[in-house]
Amino acid sequence: MKWSEKKNLYRRFLEKELNAAELDEFFLLLENGEFDSDYLDIMPAVELPVMIKEPVTNEESVTGGNTLAVPETKIRPLYKTLIRLTVAASLLCVSVTGYLAYRRTENLKQQSLFTTISVPVGSVKIITLTDHSVVTLNSGSVFKYPASFAATSRKVFLIKGKGFFEIAKDKTRPFTVYSARLSTTALGTSFTVENYKTCQLEKVRLFTGKVEIGSKEHGFSPLRLMPGQQYTQTGNTGTKGVFDAGGEIKPYAEDGSLEFDNTSLTEALARVASYYNIKLQFEKEELKGFAISGKFRNEPVQDVIHTLLFTHHLKFKKIPEGYVIMN
């Protein structure tokens, strides 16, 4: 960069006219010592103390009959160097302070900026977060995450649907997934979180590592899961159980399909509602004891519901908001 351009860049920095990209460029130049040799050209003039002046006796002036030596001002080379170092240090101090303040402000902005992902029907969405954690979202899921994580924590939000989380290890920053009522916290592990808010159903399954589950509800005692364990909460009731982590059950379907393996009918319907982004109304108590197995891929929702209910001789009807399941 030409010196005239650097000079103009510094002037605009002092006048707070730089945008984010220009600020990055300015501080990069500063860190690389680009301003060290010529900064005096753009700094205010420094008034030198009288004691630094050296008398030169080759010129004389007559005043009031007396002959006096008139000193010619000379700035010692060492003092010039000291001036340069002092100004450079001041410039560096001010600039670094400004740079750190700018970075803090930008970091706070990034933490307050959220991206919301809605996964289309029949699709799977894979997201790599800024900490290198990977989130795989099922069809119909809605997920919200910040542009940058805070220095002491990592927080994301599964608004609805199902996500498989493979968390990058960071002992100083726990990773927490917030769903409807639950919060699932880990340091470095893999697990699924399901949130079917309209059906008041949430489930956490742990595949590797450890997680701790908390809740917004008063009186909820945090509990820990080990690999192969799961926690399901329906309404205000929660149960801890096990599943076969090494068997047929997968964290997600790579082809975006719906797959049930002896799944309770209540959970199956909740997943269908999320998958197709529709509303299903049913009484949970009336469906207790019913289970279903099967796999569906982009079939019409009416066909899926009919297949799920046919085995148990249940019926359903269309309403403006979605469908009603009847016993």
Q: Is residue 182's pLDDT more than 50?
A: yes
> Do 156 and 104 have their domain in common?
no
> Do 130 and 227 have their domain in common?
yes
The token pair that represents 230 in the structure block: 């799961």
> Do 291 and 303 have their domain in common?
yes
Among 177, 210, 242, identify where a domain stops. 242
Q: What domain count does the chain have?
A: 3
> Do 101 and 140 have their domain in common?
no
> Do 184 and 300 have their domain in common?
no
195-219 residue pLDDT tens: 998 889 999 999 999 999 999 888 8
> Do 7 and 99 have their domain in common?
yes
Among 179, 207, 242, identify where a domain stops. 242
Name the range with the highest mean pLDDT among 46-50, 164-168, 262-266, 291-295.
Answer: 164-168
59-81 residue pLDDT tens: 444 444 444 444 444 445 555 55
> Do 45 and 91 have their domain in common?
yes
Structure confidence at residue 84 (pLDDT)? 55
Q: Give the CATH number of the domain where residue 281 resides.
A: 3.55.50.30
- Write out the residue range of the structural domain in which residue 197 sits: 114-242
Lowest-confidence region among 40-49, 74-83, 182-191, 303-312: 40-49
220, 205 in Cβ contact below 8 A? no
What's the pTM?
Answer: 0.64
Q: Give mean pLDDT, residues 24-29.
A: 66
> Do 149 and 83 have their domain in common?
no
264-292 residue pLDDT tens: 999 999 999 999 989 999 988 888 889 98
Is 252 a domain residue? no
> Do 181 and 93 have their domain in common?
no
> Do 178 and 282 have their domain in common?
no
Structure confidence at residue 284 (pLDDT)? 84
> Do 92 and 154 have their domain in common?
no
Is 202 a domain residue? yes
Is 249 a domain residue? no
Q: Give the CATH number of the domain where residue 132 resides.
A: 2.60.120.1440
Is 250 a domain residue? no
Is 175 a domain residue? yes
Among 112, 144, 159, identify where a domain stops. 112
Structure confidence at residue 67 (pLDDT)? 46
> Do 17 and 91 have their domain in common?
yes
The token pair that represents 145 in the structure block: 């995450």
